[in-house]
Amino acid sequence: MYTLLFKSFFRTKIFLFSLVLLLALGIVSIFIGKQYLIKQQTNIEAAQAFQIESIKQNVDYHGEDLGLLLYYLRFTLMKEPSNINAISIGQTDVNPALQAVTIRGLEAQKYDTDFENPSLLMSGNLDLGFVIIYLFPLVLIAMSFNLYSEEKELGTWGILAAQTSAKTKFLMQKLSVRAIFVLTIFTFLMVTASLVLQIPLGAPLLAIYVQGFLYLLFWVVLSFWVVSFLKNSSFNALILISTWVVLTILVPAIVNNFIVNEYQLPEALDAMVEQRDGYHEKWDLEKDVTMTGFLEEYPQYASYEVPEDEFSWIWYYGMQHMGDLTAKATSKELREKLLLRNKVSTNIALFVPTMHAQLSFNKLAGTDMLSHLNFLDGLTEFHKNLRVGFYKKIFDLKTADAVQWDNYNAKFYKHNTEFSWLLLLLPTIITILIISIFTFLNFKKIS
């Protein structure tokens, strides 16, 4: 039976169309991911070269005054590149993977990002994750919506019903042929992506594959559930397409709108303004006001004199740091709100397979919001180490010769992808089982 069903399916126009469409879009998405990795590597190399050249030029211009030199110098921290990012590019469009900061106030620099074309941001990236989540289900729907109704409308269902009592088994076999075809294309594209993008075999890649496999299996059982009502082709197509629109577009949009309005984020701008105000207002205050707060945190510099009637670098960099301290509470509140947004969306996604798959892909690829927040934490630590490493030399009025500049190349932040297999896979498995039970009950009623 299976041999006949496979031969019959391979002769259909939908087979050839689906094969060409999925392979073409899948291969294109993989090479878009490849271009993304090339752009990443180009940016890294440019940042490394720029930092070396910038240090050299600024040392030549301002080498006699280390405080002035470090006013201008920027030091770069970059996310360590990971090729698995290319499968699901996620939020890296708006959350930079590279930050170049001075040792001045960090809060005014932390949220700097590149300008991007708004229309490109709106449409998103055609990465492999997008193809799996949005396009594979449409192909499955196109191949599965008329499993029963086609036989009924062609007049062959009555003949089949007279010849066998295993009508449900026949429909399951027809569906399994289509499922095997789609899952084979999916597997082929994942293997191709791992080779073309040079993604090392490991838990994250395996998890993306298993999550993608289960996600497509969800659409298989959903299609079979709709077929189990034994309605006509128009009804099946309408229900399945409507479900696709609701799950991939409408529900995510409603959830996003709810989260954006419920947890608004004026704090990003507030933190920048507070940092700037906290710094600028110190120009008009007694220097003791600045130094008291600064020396509470760094008592090791209490022995340095701060002339009241002239400029000094310890006072200036103390002002800069006090600006950050002024914005510290707002910055913490911003981080907590972003974490809350991420938690709420993740919890809601447990009940929406499309959202769960997308967020899972982003998390496993290291392109989600939590990964970015961890990077910002790393940037804060990086900035602190820079400041503390330079403070004494600046306050001692050293020249650029006192610094071993070879130690100040662009640095990498290493992201650690940790995840729970249970939380990753269980929601989709439970959804598949529930729909399968309803499908079984439907067929049991009509058999």
Domain segments of the chain: what residues? 2-446
Q: Running DSSP on this structure, what letter comes out for residue 100?
A: E
Specify the pairing of strand 98-101 against strand 411-413.
unpaired
pLDDT the model gives residue 97:
85
pLDDT the model gives residue 115:
47
pLDDT band at residue 337 using 50, 70 and 90 as cut-offs: confident
Q: pTM value?
A: 0.88
346 has a pLDDT exceeding 80: yes
Q: Collect all residues with Cβ–Cβ distance below 8 Å to 286 and sequence separation of at least 6.
A: 308
Q: Which residue has the higher pLDDT, 187 or 234?
A: 187
pLDDT the model gives residue 16:
84
Dihedral angle at the C-alpha atoms of 371, 372, 374, 377, nearest 10 degrees?
170
pLDDT band at residue 137 using 50, 70 and 90 as cut-offs: very high
Residue range 385-406: average pLDDT? Answer: 92
**Would you state the structure tokens that stand for residue 256, as one six-digit string?**
């996003």
What is the Cβ-side half-sphere exposure of residue 397, based on CA atoms within 13 angstroms? 5
pLDDT band at residue 191 using 50, 70 and 90 as cut-offs: very high
pLDDT digits (tens, 9 = 90+) for 286-303: 777 778 888 888 999 998
376 has a pLDDT exceeding 50: yes
Rounded Cα distance between 383 and 390, Å, is: 11
pLDDT over 70 percentage in the chain: 87
162 has a pLDDT exceeding 60: no
Distances (CA, A) of 102 to 94, 158, 225, 229: 21, 78, 59, 65
Residue 373 identity = L
Q: Which residues pair with 157 in a beta bridge?
A: none
246 has a pLDDT exceeding 90: yes
pLDDT band at residue 268 using 50, 70 and 90 as cut-offs: low
What is the Cβ-side half-sphere exposure of residue 211, based on CA atoms within 13 angstroms? 32
Residue range 326-337: average pLDDT? Answer: 82
pLDDT the model gives residue 332:
83
Q: Which residues pair with 417 in a beta bridge?
A: none
Rounded Cα distance between 72 and 104, Å, is: 9
24 SS3 class: helix
pLDDT band at residue 165 using 50, 70 and 90 as cut-offs: low
Residue range 223-250: average pLDDT? Answer: 92
120 has a pLDDT exceeding 80: no
123 has a pLDDT exceeding 60: no
412 SS3 class: strand
**Would you state the structure tokens that stand for residue 345, as one six-digit string?**
């969306």
Select the highest-mean-pLDDT range: 161-175, 295-309, 380-394: 380-394
Rounded Cα distance between 321 and 107, Å, is: 10
**Would you state the structure tokens that stand for residue 163, as one six-digit string?**
């010849």
Beta-carbon count within 10 A of 425 CB: 17
CB 197 within 8 A of CB 34: yes
pLDDT the model gives residue 359:
94
114 SS3 class: coil
H/E stretch holding 101 reads strand 98-101
Distances (CA, A) of 155 to 178, 361, 391: 22, 44, 86
pLDDT the model gives residue 447:
57
- What is the average pLDDT value for the chain, to the nearest integer? 85
Specify the pairing of strand 75-79 against strand 98-101.
antiparallel
121 has a pLDDT exceeding 50: no
Alpha helical stretches, state H, 63-166: 66-72, 118-123, 128-130, 136-144, 149-154, 157-163
- Helix axis angle, 369-395 to 328-349, nearest 10°: 160
List the single range of 109-123, 209-223, 340-354 with lowest mean pLDDT: 109-123
